[in-house]
Amino acid sequence: MSIPLVDKYIDLVSTNRDFRYLWFSQIISLLGDWFNLIASATLVAGLSGSGLAFSGLFLARLLPPFILGPAAGVLADRFDRRQILIVSDLLRCVVVLGFLFIRSKEDIWLIYVLTTLQISIGAFFEPTRSAVLPGLVSRKDLITANALAGATWSSMLALGAAAGGAVTTLFGTTSAFMIDAASYLISAYLITRIVFPPKEELTESRGATNKGWQTFVDGLQYLWQRPAILVVTLLKASSAITYGSIDIVQVSFANVFPLWDSKAATLGLIYFVIGLGTGFGPILAQRFTKEQLWPMYRAILVAYGLMVTGYLLLGWGPLLTIILMGTFIRTIGTGINWVYSSSLLQMSVPNNFLGRIFAFDLAMTTLAASTSTLWAGWAKDTLAFSPHQIALVMAGVSLMMGLSWLIYLSSYAKRSRPSL
């Protein structure tokens, strides 16, 4: 008799010690990160409040992984992944403490500098964490592990955003930043408890001496020679091109629908709903797809449809209730897209290429989200677009992405899909 879905998660966490510590590390670190996001957005709202100012904050959170992606991927494939994870956490702890020195409008530049540093260090952490996962769990548990990681990201988004909004409202931004700094220390300690498997040596190409640049080029060649894997690597970017703009929209909705006269409380509630949607989507989809390739592909197609529906509700919604409903629906879709694309890559890419592939994946995702965020800030300030109008544009973009995926499935995927 098959193990019920929830029992699969419990079984994985209870029986796999190393994955359990990695999971606990993710829980603690993400909880602090969402405190940081709410506090940073609140600071920007209080010190400036313009659309471009918010775009600058979200661009500072999105661009570093794109710029540093090549170096991050090479390091993850060439050096001790355990040390990369620990050092990244410790450095981010120090950087976050710098937010405590922001006191006035003249200090607003420091928000962008510190955010850029924090996310730049994180650009080395995330591809490395994704690359180590296949070495800590069995192949049959990969989707379960990714779904649990996605649900954890979502749950911590929900809890962290809600708690961050409450803490920021009641105690101010200083407390939120202190919690974020402490979370990195705890995360680093938990990672020290993990026993990482030995990493395969990189395969040299054409007699190269394994220089960093050649290693990066080898990763690009690997993708170029395998179009099916390249397409999967771009799936997250195809949804990020829409949700980058929604970061600006969500802040605008918080201004339009303040709860208890608090923008931070509304923003926390919106992120709470985002967490619920992105966590629920992959868990629900896995009940139908299991580990089968084509059901997973079809689930991604359904995910695009959910994104279109959610954005249409955001574009129409006259009440906060409708906004929250649309947010929930569209994030079910983005959650499925995120978890399934990661699982497909981990199931098909050799271990000694995973760091570079996930760094490229993250770089393209952040480039798409950054472009979308910049456009939304420009459209809000220059074209006087309302948040509803921006959401409707994103509904159209999601529709185009979904149609592109349908065309791919119909005409090419059957001939070129990787063997899983």
pLDDT of residue 202: 45
Q: Mean pLDDT over all residues of the chain?
A: 79
For helices 320-348 and 235-256, give the axis angle rounded to 10 degrees. Answer: 160
**pLDDT recorded at residue 7:** 66
The pLDDT confidence band at residue 191, using thresholds 50, 70 and 90, is very high
pLDDT of residue 385: 82
Instruction: Pick the most confident of 16-25, 155-164, 347-356, 358-367.
Output: 16-25
Using alpha carbons, select from 284, 283, 348, 278 the residue that is nearest to residue 307. 278
Per-residue confidence band for 145, with pLDDT thresholds at 50, 70 and 90: confident
In this prediction, residues 154-160 reach a mean pLDDT of 69
Please write down the HEC assignment for all residues of the chain: CCCCHHHHHHHHHHHCHHHHHHHHHHHHHHHHHHHHHHHHHHHHHHHCCCHHHHHHHHHHHHHHHHHHHHHHHHHHHHCCHHHHHHHHHHHHHHHHHHHHHCCCHHHHHHHHHHHHHHHHHHHHHHHHHHHHHHHHCCHHHHHHHHHHHHHHHHHHHHHHHHHHHHHHHHHCHHHHHHHHHHHHHHHHHHHHCCCCCCCCCCCCCCCCCCCHHHHHHHHHHHHHCCHHHHHHHCHHHHHHHHHHHHHHHHHHHHHHCCECCEHHHHHHHHHHHHHHHHHHHHHHHHHHHCCCHHHHHHHHHHHHHHHHHHHHHHHHCCCHHHHHHHHHHHHHHHHHHHHHHHHHHHHHCCHHHHHHHHHHHHHHHHHHHHHHHHHHHHHHHCCCCCHHHHHHHHHHHHHHHHHHHHHHHHHCHHHHCCCC
What pLDDT score does 40 carry?
Answer: 79
Contact call for residues 269 and 259 (beta carbons, < 8 A):
yes
pLDDT digits 0-9 by tens, 327-352 = 899 989 988 998 898 888 888 888 77
Averaged over 189-193, what is the pLDDT? 93
Could you tell me which residue, 402 or 49, shows the higher pLDDT? 402
pLDDT by residue (tens digit) across 58-109? 677 767 777 787 777 778 777 788 889 999 999 999 998 988 887 777 777 8
Q: How far apart are CA 34 and CA 179, in angstroms?
A: 10
* Domains present along the chain, CATH in parentheses: 5-193+223-415 (1.20.1250.20)
The residue written with tokens 């990661």 in the block is 342
The pLDDT-based confidence of 415 (bands split at 50, 70, 90) is low
Question: Lowest mean pLDDT: which of 46-50, 221-225, 277-281, 293-297?
Answer: 46-50
Closest to 308 (Cα-Cα) out of 335, 330, 280: 330
Q: Taking 80 as the threshold, does the pLDDT of residue 154 lie above it?
A: no
Kindly report the pTM of this predicted structure.
Answer: 0.71
